[in-house]
Structure 1
Amino acid sequence: MFEYLNKIKAHLDDIVQDQEACINIAADWIAQTLIDDQLIHTFGTGHSHMIGLELFVRAGGLANVNAMLDSIVMTSEGSRRSAEIERIEGISDIIWDQHTIDPEDLMIVISNSGRNAMPIEMAMRARAEGLKVIAITSLQQSKKYPSRHSSGKKLFEIADIVLDNHVPPGDGLMRIDGNLTGPVSSIAGMMLINLIATEGMKKAAASNVRLPVYHSQNIDGFSNDELYALFAHRIKHL
Structure 2
Amino acid sequence: MPAAPYVRDLEREVSTRLAAIADDAAAGALEPAIALLADAIAAGGVVQAFGTGHSEAFAMEIAGRAGGLIPTNKVALRNVVLHGAHTVAELAGDPPLERDPRIADDLFATIKRDPADVFIIASNSGVNGSIVGTALLAQEHGHPVIAVTSLEHTARVEPKHPSGKRLSEIADVVIDNRAPYGDATLEGPGGVSVGAVSSITSAFIAQLLTVGVTHRLGTGDKPAPLYLSANIPGGDEHNRALEDLYGERIRRYA
TM-score by length of 2: 0.85
Q: Residue in 2 aligned with 1:161?
A: 173
Give, as a single letter, the amino acid of the residue that structure 1 aligns with 2:101. E
Q: Residue in 2 aligned with 1:125?
A: 137
Alpha carbons 2:62, 2:68 under 8 Å: kept: yes
Counterpart CA distance in 2 for 1:72 and 1:221 is 30
Report deviation, 1:15: 2.5
Aligned residues: 237
Q: Residue in 2 aligned with 1:225?
A: 240
Report deviation, 1:138: 0.7
3-state SS, counterpart of residue 245 of structure 2? helix
- The list of structure 1 runs, each at least 4 consecutive aligned residues, that deviate by more than 6 angstroms after superposition, is 76-80
3-state SS, counterpart of residue 150 of structure 1? coil
Report deviation, 1:213: 0.9
**Change beyond 3 A, Cα 1:183–1:4:** same
3-state SS, counterpart of residue 233 of structure 1? helix
Counterpart CA distance in 2 for 1:43 and 1:5 is 28
Report deviation, 1:233: 2.6
Query: Do structure 1's residue 184 and structure 2's residue 191 form an aligned pair?
Result: no
Q: Residue in 2 aligned with 1:40?
A: 47
Counterpart CA distance in 2 for 1:128 and 1:192 is 26
Q: Provide, for residues 184-227 of structure 1, a one-character-per-residue CA deviation record: whole Å limited to 9, x for no partner.
A: 01011111111111101101114964321111111113322202
Say which structure, 1 or 2, has more relative contact order (CA 8 Å, 6+ apart): 1
Report deviation, 1:120: 0.3
Give, as a single letter, the amino acid of the residue that structure 2 aligns with 1:116. N
Counterpart CA distance in 2 for 1:110 and 1:82 is 22
3-state SS, counterpart of residue 115 of structure 1? coil
Looking at CA atoms only, which structure, 1 or 2, has the larger radius of gyration?
A: 2
Query: Do structure 1's residue 11 and structure 2's residue 17 form an aligned pair?
Result: yes
3-state SS, counterpart of residue 193 of structure 2? strand
Report the RMSD for the aligned CA atoms in angstroms.
Answer: 2.4
Q: Identity over the aligned pairs, expressed in percent? A: 31
Q: Residue in 1 aligned with 2:211?
A: 198
3-state SS, counterpart of residue 57 of structure 1? coil
| Structure 2 residues without counterparts, runs of 5 or longer | 1-6, 81-87
Report deviation, 1:234: 1.7
Counterpart CA distance in 1 for 2:127 and 2:18 is 23
Give, as a single letter, the amino acid of the residue that structure 2 aligns with 1:22. A
| Structure 1 residues without counterparts, runs of 5 or longer | none
TM-score by length of 1: 0.90
